[in-house]
Amino acid sequence: MNFDGDQPKGFEGAAYQRISVDHPSAGGDVMVAGRDLTIKNIVSGLAMLRPHPVDRGLILREPLLVPPHMEFGGPVAEPFPVADPVDASVIALLGREFSGRRTWALSLLDTAMADKNREIFELYPDWEKPDADRLPCESETGYLLNLAGVKEPLDREFHERLAEFAMRAHSTDTLLVVVATPRVWNSTAMNSRTSPVKIMEMDPPSALKVARRRIEAHREHPGRASWLTDESSVFAGLLHGDEPPAEAVRLAHVILRAEGPQDKDALDGFKGWKHKLTDWFGSTDLEAPERRALQIAAAFLDGARARTVLDAADALLADPEIHWPVRQGGPLGGAGGSQRCADAELDYSPDGTVSITKHHPGIDRALLGHVWRERPQLVPVLTRWLSAISQPQGIADTSLPRLAGVLTTLAESEGADVVLGLTQDWLRNGHVRYTQLAVDVLDQLAVNPVLGPEVRKVLAQWAQGTNSPERQLAVAQVCGRRLVREYTSVALTRLKYVLESTWKKKERTAEDEKVRAVALTTLKSLLVDPDLSARVLKTLVDWTTPEKNASEKGEFSRTAFLDVFARDDTESSTSPVPVLLTAEAEHGEAVRELLREGWRATWHRPELRERAAAVLGQWCDAAEAGELPGDAVEEVVAVIFSAQADVMGGELDRLIAGTAPFRAQLRTRLFEVVRETAARRGASSAYGTA
């Protein structure tokens, strides 16, 4: 028996083993059993967290890698050598945020997976509640469970399940490294004496060493590493040792770009351009507001065409609260565009673009943070201005991706609430363009390493808010973008909330129907995506399968399965049905098994049977017309036959079960009645048609 870990397209990271029987005496039954087990393992693997492949070529290694200081339940140890063997199947790598935990975790995995053929995957907390049972455990594989940004402590049940996982992982030569803060790890919820999980607490590596190695790695300027400690350099003494590694890397890059050891502009850039911003925004010069408007416009639209930046600045000056007088002479008055940019210390390139960061790297982000903190009275003005310039055919109509990115970085420094409030204003405006900009921003915030957990919770609240259909509409669109690729389960759960909320309303408005339609369209689009289709279908089937003590709140999901698979002639090209029914190899068999499971569960619900028959009848019509593969449709319909037999089997078993001749005669009569009934209904239908 061969065990092959290759995974069919669309099932990346599924916890299964492909089993083939190559013994010459193996019979067909064994082959079928092996295939069935393969399909079963594929389907069960879809319930696991989705592993995201890590390119081992990008993992930081010596000489750039600086080991952190580690603690193993005792005094602080010497820096932990990279080459030391890993003697546990699960390691909890604990440290504060931004301490370089992920870098070191990947290094540990890379060392343990020394065989070049072994793979490493990153796992995100794609759950509503931490669940160790959803951790994949593929043989000879490394996993990084990255809990960065998570705030809630792990509970006792998670730790108990993780201990069980550790024992399984030991038998399969699997290694899992969990990255978390000590608070999230919550050691009080676990028995550290009996747990097979190894705990490693780390402090950040020496920031000075990190910066030094980065500089020395550049052959052109290796000597600049001395600027870090040379008292004649303005860069000396900036690192004290406990700064985040990213800060050390940033200083290294600043030094490598500096004009010399006395480059005060480069130093100011490292410190957030405080001197430059004080110079720009502290002046009482009468012309300062015009320069500041241009600098703010350039910060939002860095790299845009000069006309775009200049017009945006003029639009900001025109706000009633700024009271900037109209320029005398109109287009003939004042300086030209290049001179205005020069006065504002902006780069005016020969290609006609304007940049605030070319000579002042990073000042765009620093400037906006400065404005939000130091001039809060300007924030409402900027909100109105952003809405105006981003509208269709507006000044910044072609710069929406840039605006979305800037607002995301602004949220990182000023908090998510600042930008979430702005997105809600855009959504309430109701214009398609504003909605799209809000969705672009939410799309980036939802997967942000720092703000993501908070924003995903907000999206869950919005999805359930029946009084704000515009927010639900945005959630339904966000769930079809980056969120579903990195947090598939989270995205689908929020789509479920949207559908639930519209289902519960006794009287649905046109807006409610639109929200529901968009949510269903998102689901359909995901079902035709080969990278997501199987996981989405598995989720739909789970919604359809009755749960114990299921409340009316969950009844919507039984109809969602039918709504997604009902064929709409106006959208036949986007229907997921042909794609799912024609999927190939094990992938296709697993998908069709999921379809059969979903239809079986749906048919067992009497209140849905009439609708299910209508939808499946559409499939049969399409199969007759050659639009769907007849064999695949027949497989699904056969499941309905079995389900129907199960429904009536309990009562009939007492009458027709057994080997006696009379029982056999009764079974024959049953088949005759079924044929007669089918023929009678067929004739009646034909007569009605005639």
Give me the DSSP letters along 444-491.
HHHT-TTTHHHHHHHHHHHHH-TT-HHHHHHHHHHTTTHHHHHSHHHH
Which is more confident, 38 or 601? 601
Structural Rg of the chain based on CA atoms: 31
Task: Give the model's pLDDT for residue 669.
Answer: 73
AA letter at 530: P
The string of pLDDT tens digits covering residues 605-645 is: 888 888 888 898 888 888 888 888 988 888 888 887 776 66
With 80 as the cut, is the pLDDT of residue 286 above it?
Answer: yes
AA letter at 611: R
- Helices 469-478 and 452-464: angle between axes, nearest 10 degrees: 130
Phi, psi of 179 (to 5 degrees): -105, 120
| Beta strands 347-348 and 120-123, pairing class | unpaired
Task: Give the model's pLDDT for residue 333.
Answer: 61
The string of pLDDT tens digits covering residues 128-161 is: 999 999 999 999 999 999 999 899 999 999 999 9
Burial of 625 (0-12, 13-18, 19+ CB in 10 A): exposed
Q: Which whole number is the average pLDDT over 438-455? A: 92
The string of pLDDT tens digits covering residues 299-316 is: 999 999 999 999 999 999
Which residues sit opposite 142 in a β-bridge? 120, 175
User: How many angstroms separate the CA atoms of 647 and 603, rounded?
Assistant: 9
Measured on CA atoms in the order 578, 581, 587, 593, is the torsion positive or negative?
Answer: positive
With 80 as the cut, is the pLDDT of residue 656 above it?
Answer: no
Q: How far is it between the farthest Cα atoms of the chain?
A: 109
CA distances from 115 to 15, 55, 558 (A): 20, 14, 47
Task: Give the model's pLDDT for residue 415.
Answer: 87
Phi, psi of 409 (to 5 degrees): -65, -35
User: How many angstroms separate the CA atoms of 286 and 25, rounded?
Assistant: 94
Q: Which whole number is the average pLDDT over 113-136? A: 91
With 80 as the cut, is the pLDDT of residue 38 above it?
Answer: no
The string of pLDDT tens digits covering residues 334-385 is: 678 899 999 999 999 988 899 999 999 999 999 999 999 999 999 889 988 9
User: How many angstroms separate the CA atoms of 322 and 313, rounded?
Assistant: 12
Task: Give the model's pLDDT for residue 25.
Answer: 38
Which is more confident, 124 or 77? 124
Q: Which whole number is the average pLDDT over 32-46? A: 73
Q: Which whole number is the average pLDDT over 52-66? A: 91
User: How many angstroms separate the CA atoms of 235 and 250, rounded?
Assistant: 12
With 90 as the cut, is the pLDDT of residue 461 above it?
Answer: yes
Contact (Cβ atoms closer than 8 angstroms) between residue 418 and residue 410:
yes
3-state helix, strand, coil in the chain (%, to 5): 60, 5, 35
With 80 as the cut, is the pLDDT of residue 34 above it?
Answer: no
Task: Give the model's pLDDT for residue 525.
Answer: 93
- Nearest Cα to 15, choosing from 116, 139, 121, 110? 139
Give me the DSSP letters along 508-574.
--HHHHHHHHHHHHHHHHHHT-TTTHHHHHHHHHHHHS--TT--GGGTHHHHHHHHHHS--GGGGGG
Q: Which residues contact 506 (CB under 8 A, 6 or more apart)?
A: none
Question: How many residues comprise the chain?
Answer: 690
Contact (Cβ atoms closer than 8 angstroms) between residue 248 and residue 210:
yes
User: How many angstroms separate the CA atoms of 144 and 123, rounded?
Assistant: 6
Which of the four pLDDT bands, split at 50, 70 and 90, describes residue 74?
A: very low
Query: Which range has the worst mean pLDDT, 162-166, 449-453, 500-504?
Result: 500-504
Burial of 651 (0-12, 13-18, 19+ CB in 10 A): exposed
- Cα torsion 341, 346, 348, 353 to 10°: value is -110
With 90 as the cut, is the pLDDT of residue 685 above it?
Answer: no
Q: Tokens 């808010």 identify what position?
A: 465
Measured on CA atoms in the order 670, 671, 672, 678, is the torsion positive or negative?
Answer: positive
With 90 as the cut, is the pLDDT of residue 547 above it?
Answer: no
Phi, psi of 406 (to 5 degrees): -65, -45
Task: Give the model's pLDDT for residue 658.
Answer: 73
- Nearest Cα to 586, choosing from 32, 38, 34? 38
AA letter at 513: E
CA distances from 312 to 257, 298, 305, 432, 536 (A): 31, 9, 11, 21, 43
Of the chain, the end-to-end C-alpha distance in Å amounts to: 60
The string of pLDDT tens digits covering residues 502-523 is: 777 667 788 888 999 999 999 9
Q: Which two tokens stand for residue 42?
A: 């594929």
The string of pLDDT tens digits covering residues 93-108 is: 999 999 999 999 999 9
With 70 as the cut, is the pLDDT of residue 11 above it?
Answer: no
The order of strands in the sheet holding 52-53 is 52-53, 120-123, 142-146, 175-180, 90-94, 198-203, 69-71
With 80 as the cut, is the pLDDT of residue 670 above it?
Answer: no
Phi, psi of 50 (to 5 degrees): -80, 115
Which of the four pLDDT bands, split at 50, 70 and 90, describes residue 174?
A: very high
- Nearest Cα to 438, choosing from 468, 477, 412? 477
The string of pLDDT tens digits covering residues 549-593 is: 444 444 555 688 899 998 765 544 578 988 888 888 777 888 889
Q: Other CB atoms closer than 10 Å to residue 624's CB: what's the count?
A: 11
User: How many angstroms separate the CA atoms of 388 and 418, rounded?
Assistant: 18
Which of the four pLDDT bands, split at 50, 70 and 90, describes residue 292?
A: very high
3-state secondary structure of 92: strand
- Nearest Cα to 303, choosing from 249, 264, 248, 361? 361
Which 8-state DSSP code applies to residue 272?
A: T
Which 8-state DSSP code applies to residue 134?
A: G
With 50 as the cut, is the pLDDT of residue 26 above it?
Answer: no
User: How many angstroms separate the CA atoms of 247 and 35, rounded?
Assistant: 53
Contact (Cβ atoms closer than 8 angstroms) between residue 153 and residue 129:
no
Task: Give the model's pLDDT for residue 76.
Answer: 35
Question: How far does Cα 687 stand from its chain's mean position?
Answer: 55
With 60 as the cut, is the pLDDT of residue 55 above it?
Answer: yes
Q: Which residues contact 54 (CB under 8 A, 6 or more apart)?
A: 106, 109, 119, 120, 121, 122, 144
User: How many angstroms separate the CA atoms of 563 and 686, rounded?
Assistant: 29
Percent of the chain with pLDDT over 90: 49
Q: Which two tokens stand for residue 537?
A: 């279908």
Q: Which two tokens stand for residue 225?
A: 């590493």
AA letter at 453: P
CA distances from 316 to 290, 293, 375, 384, 397 (A): 9, 6, 15, 9, 16
User: How many angstroms separate the CA atoms of 563 and 139, rounded?
Assistant: 39
Three-point CA angle 28, 31, 37, nearest 5°: 145
- Nearest Cα to 280, choosing from 196, 209, 371, 219? 371
Three-point CA angle 134, 110, 52, nearest 5°: 40
Q: Which two tokens stand for residue 578?
A: 């042909």
Task: Give the model's pLDDT for residue 640.
Answer: 79
